Amino acid sequence: MVGAELDAKPLIEDLYLAYTEILDDGDLRSWPDLFTDDGEYHIVAKENRDRGLPLALMRCESKGMIEDRVNAILQLSMYQPRVLRHLISALHVRPTPPDRGAPRFDVTANYAVFQTLADEETTVLSTGRYLDVVAIEHDTARFRKKVCVYDNPLVPNSLVYPL
Amino acid sequence: MVGAELDAKPLIEDLYLAYTEILDDGDLRSWPDLFTDDGEYHIVAKENRDRGLPLALMRCESKGMIEDRVNAILQLSMYQPRVLRHLISALHVRPTPPDRGAPRFDVTANYAVFQTLADEETTVLSTGRYLDVVAIEHDTARFRKKVCVYDNPLVPNSLVYPL
Amino acid sequence: MVGAELDAKPLIEDLYLAYTEILDDGDLRSWPDLFTDDGEYHIVAKENRDRGLPLALMRCESKGMIEDRVNAILQLSMYQPRVLRHLISALHVRPTPPDRGAPRFDVTANYAVFQTLADEETTVLSTGRYLDVVAIEHDTARFRKKVCVYDNPLVPNSLVYPL
**pTM to 2 decimal places:** 0.94
Residues 6+ apart with CB under 8 A from B62: B38, B39, B40
The alpha-carbon gap from A86 to the nearest alpha carbon of chain C, in Å, equals 11
Q: Do the bridges between strand C92-99 and strand C58-60 make them parallel or antiparallel, or are there none, so unpaired? A: unpaired
Query: Using the beta-carbon criterion (under 8 Å), do C116 and A89 form an inter-chain contact?
Result: no
Please name the member of A10, A13, A116 whose beta carbon is closest to the beta carbon of B151: A116
Phi then psi for residue A7, to 5 deg, are -70, -35
Q: How far apart are CA B86 and CA B77, in angstroms?
A: 18
Mean pLDDT of C57-73: 93
Residue A120, classified by CB atoms within 10 Å of its CB into exposed (0-12), middle (13-18) or buried (19+), is exposed
Write out the H or E segment, with its range, that includes residue C19: helix C3-25
pLDDT at B146 over 60: yes
pLDDT at A64 over 50: yes
Query: A68 or A155: whose pLDDT is higher?
Result: A68
pLDDT score for B153: 84
Query: Is A139 near chain B, with CB under 8 Å?
Result: no
pLDDT at B143 over 70: yes
Q: What is the pLDDT of residues B25-63, one digit of tens each?
A: 989 999 999 999 999 999 999 999 999 998 888 899 999
Mean pLDDT of C110-133: 95
Query: Is B158 near chain A, with CB under 8 Å?
Result: no
Residues 6+ apart with CB under 8 A from A113: A84, A85, A86, A87, A124, A125, A126, A127, A163
Q: What is the ipTM of this complex?
A: 0.92
Query: Using the beta-carbon criterion (under 8 Å), do A127 and C25 form an inter-chain contact?
Result: no
The nearest alpha carbon in chain C to A91 belongs to: C17
pLDDT at C120 over 80: yes
pLDDT score for A156: 64
Q: What is the pLDDT of residues A125-161, one digit of tens each?
A: 999 999 999 999 999 999 999 999 999 988 765 667 8
pLDDT at C56 over 70: yes
The alpha-carbon gap from B156 to the nearest alpha carbon of chain A, in Å, equals 10
If one counts every other C-beta atom within 10 angstroms of the C-beta of residue A54, the result is 8
pLDDT at A90 over 50: yes
Query: C138 or B110: whose pLDDT is higher?
Result: B110
pLDDT at C1 over 50: no
Q: Do the bridges between strand B92-99 and strand A92-99 make them parallel or antiparallel, or are there none, so unpaired? A: unpaired
Q: Which among A120, C97, A68 has a CA at the least distance from the CA of B124? A: A120
| Mean pLDDT (chain A, rounded) | 90
Query: Using the beta-carbon criterion (under 8 Å), do A116 and B87 form an inter-chain contact?
Result: no
Q: Which of A73-82, A90-99, B132-141, C64-73 has the lowest mean pLDDT?
A: A73-82
Q: What is the pLDDT of residues C95-116, one digit of tens each?
A: 999 888 889 999 999 999 999 9
Q: How far apart are CA A129 and CA A132, in angstroms?
A: 9
Please name the member of A25, A87, A120 whose beta carbon is closest to the beta carbon of B87: A87
Q: How far apart are CA A15 and CA A12, in angstroms?
A: 5
pLDDT-derived band at C79, boundaries 50, 70, 90: low
Query: B112 or B55: whose pLDDT is higher?
Result: B112
